[in-house]
Amino acid sequence: MATPLVLLDVDGVLNPFSRPHRGYRRHRCTPEGITYRLWLNAAHGPLLLDLAEGAGAELAWASFWKGAANEWIAPRVGLPEMPFVPIPRFPGLEEGHSLGAWKARHVAPWTKGRPFVWFEDEPDATVRIAAEKDIGPHLLVAVDSETGLTGDHLDRAADWLAALTR
C-alpha cells in the first residue's frame, strides 16, 4: 500500500475563527504583502508529527496558503517544511461551485490514489472529495472552524490510519 497522507488546512483548522482557548498565541503573518492575524497553537506541530510518524504517513498542506504555509505557519506550530497541494485562487461562488468543491477538485488528483486523512473545515468537502475520480481510501475529518483542531480530531485520524494496516 502507498504511503498515506495527512493533509492540513490552515484557516479554520490550525487557525480557528473564534478566539481559542489556552495554548494559542496571536501571530501576524504577511504573505505576499497582505497582513493576517492568526491564532496558532505551538502544540499542534508535535501532535501532528506524532500522528504522521505513528502511521508512517507524510504530512502535506491542503490550504490556500500553499507554500506560504511553510514560511508563515510551520515554524510557529513546530512543523517542518512540507509539500503542498497547488490549489489555485478560488474563482468565487457560482452555481455548483463552493470553496469545499474547489479544494476537493485539486486535492483529489494531487493524492494520486494514495490513502489520506484531510483535516478540513469546509462543510461540503466530504461529499465533494468522495465524488472525485480515482480517489483512494480517505477520511475527511470535519473540523469546526470556530474551535479548530482538537485532540478528538487527531484521535479519529489515528484510529483510521491504524485500521489501514490491519
The 10s digit of each residue's pLDDT in 70-108 is: 999 999 999 999 999 999 888 776 655 688 888 998 999
Note the pTM of the prediction, 2 decimals. 0.94
- Tell me which DSSP letter residue 84 carries: B
> What pLDDT is attached to residue 166?
77
Q: Are 60 and 9 in contact (CB under 8 A)?
A: no
Q: What is the pLDDT of residues 128-164, one digit of tens each?
A: 888 888 899 999 999 999 999 999 999 999 999 999 9
**Which residue reads 504511503 in cell numbers?**
3
pLDDT of residue 95: 56
- Reference 69, options 87, 56, 46; nearest CA is 87
Position 96 scores a pLDDT of: 59
